[in-house]
Structure 1
Amino acid sequence: MPEALPVALMVLVAGTAGLLGWRHWHYRSFWPIVGFPLVAIHIRATWRRVALGCGLTKKRQRWWFTTVPSLIASTGIVRVRRRFQRVAVDTKPSMGIPMPTRFGWRVTLHTLEGQIPEDYAQAAERLAHSWGIHAVRATSPRPGRVVLTATVRDPLVEVNDSPLSVELLKVAVGRLETGRPWEIDFRTVPHWLNAGATQSGKSNLANVLLIGLAPQPVALVGFDLKGGVEFTPYAPRLSALATSRAESVSLLDDLVALMASRMDLCRTSGVRNVWQLGSAVRPVPIVVLIDELAELYLMADKSEKDQIAKTSTAMLRVAQLGRAFGIYLFLSGQRIGSDLGVSVTALRAQCSGRICHRVNDPETAAMTLGDLDPSALISARAIPAETPGVAVVAGQDGRWSRARSFFVSQQAAEHAALTHAALAPSWAEITAGA
């Protein structure tokens, strides 16, 4: 018997080391086979006290056996008897079977009377701390149900290289916190608002987008109000580039005229948008990239008032009507606030795609995400400075998610622009007849 103890100890140590090595070197297979079953048991076993601690239980009347005092004997001993009566009991929300995900797990809860999904969203941080995991998200697929999606560890710490885009006007620009690709699809969400402070990853996202669109048969148009320092290196792939307000006004006039021309073409052909036209007559799609959006609306003196009014009107017309006629917007800026004017607020309303990186002021985050989901605003304000590329993303369905863009160097973006320069259609050819 004593001789067996060292052997058992060695087997235990070897098994533990093997499991730790498996977990370290191939976590993707370790998690569903070993890690998740243990976590699922822990979740189910602790759900009652976790729900009670997070304020998710409700008092309900239940028939229960209780002990009540009966008689006091001569010795002073109190005799008790069991009684079947209704008492108030803390009832937890009913929990379904936890299911594994790539970076954690999800489980469906049946809400109790008087509860709404917002109650679970407010308790999400407390739930994450109770279970010792990275984060918990609460969503509601239908009334009376809440789905908790738990992330055991942050999937955005390291993001791999971007895959090639194979669909027109769709680019995989990063990864969502669920582990799925983060895709910008202009056919589904035509206009995007991209806000972020310096070194937040805002410009890197534009680089990723340019690399994804460069090999596609689309026209890229740039507005660079930094004097051209951002987009000039990509000029070989751009069909047009405006680097000043005067050039921006002229280029926007071209876009409005082009949109009117395509409108006439669709009306003559009896279709509602350019995608219903035959491939032989369908005009080339145009993606408009704008850097430092606020520069289009800032006024130094009254002499610029007319230019700003003309610019804002043209921009709003393109945003309102451009989708049907193959013109899409990707608007970037450090500062996007209501103080820039009502035109910016109206323009924001046309952008169903929202991306908020780390920002310097709460109003920019509120302008970008505040009208979608308050919890998205809180998440955006919590993005740390040491995680460039991390952003809160919201689509036209109103749902939001944390995401991180792939890192693309400026040299890689310049190389893509040069490599695919032959695919850039001439702006004169595009606007001919407009």
Structure 2
Amino acid sequence: MGPILLALVLAVLAWLLVVGDLVRRHRPAWHWYLTGYPAAAWRVVFTWRRVALLNDLAVSRLPARTLVGHLLVKGDPVRPVAPRISFPRATRLGLSVVVRLHAGQTPATYMQAADALVHAWKVHAVRVTSPERGLVLLTATATDPLLRPGLASAPAELLSALIGALETGGAWVMNLRLVPHWLIAGATRSGKSTLLARVITQLAPQPVAMVGIDCKGGMELGLFAARLSALATSRREAVAVLTALVVDMQDRMSACRTAGVRSIWELPDKLRPVPVVVLVDEIAELFLSDGTRQSKAEAEQCSTLLLRLAQLGAALGLHLVVAGQRVGSDLGPGVTALRAQLGGRICHRVNDPGTAEMTLGDLNKDAVAVAQAITAQERGVAVCTGPDGGWSRARSHLTPTDEAVATARKHSGMTPDLPAIERALVALDGDGK
């Protein structure tokens, strides 16, 4: 019976290993709940006190100074006490722990200890937040959820585009009704153009007008010309298009004022103008100048017109999605002013720290550090802001170019006419001749 029993045990172990590997690959959540979470919870409970001591999270109840006779003795307090924690609660992607702060502690101390917690608990990342006064929530992610993100889903809404998946497992949505203007930064082959294609694919079936500005000769946005109401392929054309949009914006203001409302969304359906989404690829091409008077004038015009659209367009159904490889104050003061109006931010891998700082620095310094850590192998991964003002890592769903082009052509019949822009471009061609 001995050899037979041994063979049976080995067969069961082999079967468990095979099944475990299949579960890990095809049902990672199940694998985490069955094997990963118990081990991680054990590490959290049994390493917490030591980690707290080594990272100055523990506090002694004894004073750091005392009186011995007539002498005042100072020193390090003894018998420090680690903060109390809740039992680790399992989540779909990791676990969470609630910590009750000692008097005088702040969440900043725990943010500094996040890397130590990652190594002690053997997890991918630890996020530190403070849900209420006196408490800190430590959210540990077992593995990088963006390595193989699932297809997220979200309800279809007007001016809303499902971009991809957040690191929390939720849907990454660009809702232009909630956040009307967006800035997208990313180096070559970082996923920026794929994200723009995804936005166009999501907006194509909706009753909205899309206007493209691609000063690289239309190489990127020209692929989707069938669904664009207008496309500017040079800065001269961009000035004409933006000028026409500003005039249209003023007409929308007049319509709202006449109707006694504060936005086009309060107008009756038959009077409401079509929403317009302006897609700008490579913003630097609009601001750079070769030193000539005409070039400087065009750059200043683009800066002023974009800023006016960003400041006044949200309530009037005019939205900006501005993308570029590099965004910096060296492009001119207009870029900094425009950035302040673009509430939505997306930062892919960038080539210089200044672009990451320009994109996310005025919102959260931690987000800048995370964006700079994105590697060249993580195409489509970005740091994005949410409507609540927070930030998260996310990955856009891969939308092949041929699929995006086919979608644009399929819905070309829904492309609204924008006569003012068409007249401006025709007049520009006439002047050129």
TM-score by length of 1: 0.88
* Residue from 407, 414, 420 that aligns with 2:398: 407
The number of residue pairs the alignment matches comes to 408
Partner of 2:237 in structure 1?
247
Once the two structures are aligned, what percentage of the paired residues are identical?
48
Q: Report the structure, 1 or 2, having the larger strand content.
A: 1
Distance 1:162 1:397, change over 3 A: closer
Shift of 1:308: 1.6
Is the counterpart of residue 349 in structure 1 residue 350 in structure 2?
no
| Residues in 1 aligned to 2:413 and 2:319: alpha-carbon distance in whole angstroms | 21
Partner of 2:37 in structure 1?
36
Contact 2:152 2:171 in 1 (8 A): no
Deviates more, 1:128-137 or 1:93-102: 93-102
Partner of 1:389 in structure 2?
380
Partner of 1:22 in structure 2?
23
Contact 1:54 1:127 in 2 (8 A): no
| Residues in 2 aligned to 1:89 and 1:11: alpha-carbon distance in whole angstroms | 51
Contact 1:256 1:314 in 2 (8 A): yes
Contact 1:337 1:367 in 2 (8 A): yes
| Residues in 2 aligned to 1:109 and 1:202: alpha-carbon distance in whole angstroms | 38
* Residue from 301, 308, 316 that aligns with 1:325: 316
Q: Deviations over 1:18-41 (max 9, x none)?
A: 445433442222323443244223
* Residue from 227, 244, 249 that aligns with 1:237: 227
Letter of the structure 1 residue corresponding to residue 29 of structure 2: R
Partner of 1:61 in structure 2?
62
Is the counterpart of residue 13 in structure 1 residue 4 in structure 2?
no
Instruction: Provide the aligned C-alpha RMSD in A.
Output: 2.2
Distance 1:254 1:156, change over 3 A: same
Partner of 1:281 in structure 2?
271
| Residues in 2 aligned to 1:7 and 1:226: alpha-carbon distance in whole angstroms | 68
| Residues in 2 aligned to 1:20 and 1:295: alpha-carbon distance in whole angstroms | 50
Partner of 2:428 in structure 1?
none
Distance 1:430 1:267, change over 3 A: farther
| Residues in 2 aligned to 1:275 and 1:330: alpha-carbon distance in whole angstroms | 20
| Residues in 2 aligned to 1:143 and 1:193: alpha-carbon distance in whole angstroms | 33
TM-score by length of 2: 0.89
Is the counterpart of residue 127 in structure 1 residue 117 in structure 2?
yes
* Residue from 312, 329, 333 that aligns with 2:303: 312
* Residue from 158, 179, 184 that aligns with 2:148: 158
* Residue from 185, 188, 191 that aligns with 1:195: 185
Shift of 1:280: 1.8
Q: Deviations over 1:310-363 (max 9, x none)?
A: 211111010011100001111000110011111110110111111110101111
Letter of the structure 2 residue corresponding to residue 359 of structure 1: V
Partner of 1:419 in structure 2?
410
> Larger Rg: 1 or 2?
1
* Residue from 165, 168, 176 that aligns with 2:166: 176
SS at 1:61's partner residue? coil
| Residues in 2 aligned to 1:211 and 1:165: alpha-carbon distance in whole angstroms | 16
SS at 2:199's partner residue? helix
Contact 2:230 2:421 in 1 (8 A): no
Deviates more, 1:18-27 or 1:52-61: 18-27
Letter of the structure 2 residue corresponding to residue 202 of structure 1: K
| Residues in 2 aligned to 1:7 and 1:42: alpha-carbon distance in whole angstroms | 33
Shift of 1:2: 5.5
Is the counterpart of residue 293 in structure 1 residue 293 in structure 2?
no
Partner of 1:367 in structure 2?
358
Distance 1:112 1:150, change over 3 A: same
| Residues in 1 aligned to 2:29 and 2:87: alpha-carbon distance in whole angstroms | 21
Is the counterpart of residue 224 in structure 1 residue 225 in structure 2?
no
Q: Deviations over 1:45-68 (max 9, x none)?
A: 221112223332222239xxxxxx
Is the counterpart of residue 95 in structure 1 residue 85 in structure 2?
yes
Distance 1:3 1:61, change over 3 A: farther
Q: Deviations over 1:404-425 (max 9, x none)?
A: 1111111111101100000000
SS at 2:389's partner residue? coil
SS at 1:88's partner residue? coil
Contact 1:258 1:431 in 2 (8 A): no
SS at 1:283's partner residue? coil
| Residues in 2 aligned to 1:365 and 1:317: alpha-carbon distance in whole angstroms | 25
Deviates more, 1:23-32 or 1:44-53: 23-32
Deviates more, 1:261-270 or 1:115-124: 115-124
| Residues in 2 aligned to 1:334 and 1:114: alpha-carbon distance in whole angstroms | 44
What stretches of structure 1 of length at least 5 have no aligned partner? 63-86
Distance 1:330 1:165, change over 3 A: farther
| Residues in 2 aligned to 1:418 and 1:429: alpha-carbon distance in whole angstroms | 23
Letter of the structure 1 residue corresponding to residue 13 of structure 2: V
Partner of 1:145 in structure 2?
135
Q: Deviations over 1:231-261 (max 9, x none)?
A: 1111110001111111111111111111111
What stretches of structure 2 of length at least 5 have no aligned partner? 64-76, 424-433
